[in-house]
């Protein structure tokens, strides 16, 4: 078996295999310069993964955008017994090829759901409320969303949350599509 070792956002991951969803996300981060690949064989395999993913999935991977569950905190611990709300930041981006003007995001299409790669969904939670603000103070508008924790459907084995959504009618990404997705890690807690 091939062993992948790579550094991503100051964390080192090591696995005997790389799940498809994680490899897509890793390739995306690598393309943005956020992943340092350790080892020549691994570097070659990542480049081959990029080619294979882009050939098989086309531009779909390019429509991944950035979110931050519980903006500013890590790990993103979530009390599964909470009756409260969970803040999720959807980051706007002005970088060519990764643009996202959150003012063009249709809040009625936003859905949040659990993921445990390689399985995803269902995405049933809709935001209770949302606002436009610059969460990460980069000069680009972001969207802060609030979801009822119990409506998201998180269970103890889930490791990620995925946000899916669409742009308003008439607005498109550079590939002509209107849909996007975003993923962030979570740490479910069951408190007495």
Which pLDDT does position 46 carry in this prediction?
A: 53
* Beta strand residue intervals within 23-121, DSSP E: 35-37, 64-65, 67-69, 77-79, 85-90, 105-116, 119-120
Residue spans of the chain under pLDDT 70: 1-63, 117-122, 192
In the chain, where the domains are located = 4-61, 66-189
Which pLDDT does position 175 carry in this prediction?
A: 72
Closest to 62 (Cα-Cα) out of 107, 108, 102, 93: 93
Q: 66-189 has which CATH code?
A: 2.60.40
Which pLDDT does position 169 carry in this prediction?
A: 77
98 class by beta-carbon count within 10 Å (0-12 exposed, 13-18 middle, 19+ buried): middle
């Amino acid at each position: 078996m091939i062993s992948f070792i790579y550094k991503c956002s100051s964390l080192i991951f090591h696995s005997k295999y790389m799940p498809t969803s994680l490899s897509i996300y890793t390739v995306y981060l690598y393309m943005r310069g956020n992943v340092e690949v350790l080892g020549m064989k691994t570097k070659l395999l990542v480049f081959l993964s990029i080619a294979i993913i882009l050939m098989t999935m086309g531009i779909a991977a390019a429509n991944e955008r950035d979110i931050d569950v519980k903006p500013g905190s890590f790990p993103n611990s979530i009390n599964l017994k909470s009756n409260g709300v969970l803040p999720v930041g959807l980051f706007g981006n002005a970088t060519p090829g990764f643009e996202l003007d959150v003012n063009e995001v249709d809040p009625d299409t936003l859905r949040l759901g659990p993921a445990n790669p390689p399985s995803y969904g269902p995405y049933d939670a809709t935001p209770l409320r949302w606002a436009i603000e610059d969460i990460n103070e980069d000069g680009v508008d972001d969207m802060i969303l609030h979801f009822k924790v119990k409506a998201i459907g998180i269970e103890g084995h889930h490791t990620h949350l995925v946000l899916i959504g669409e742009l308003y009618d008439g607005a498109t990404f550079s590939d002509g599509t209107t849909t996007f997705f975003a993923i962030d890690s979570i740490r479910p807690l069951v408190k007495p």
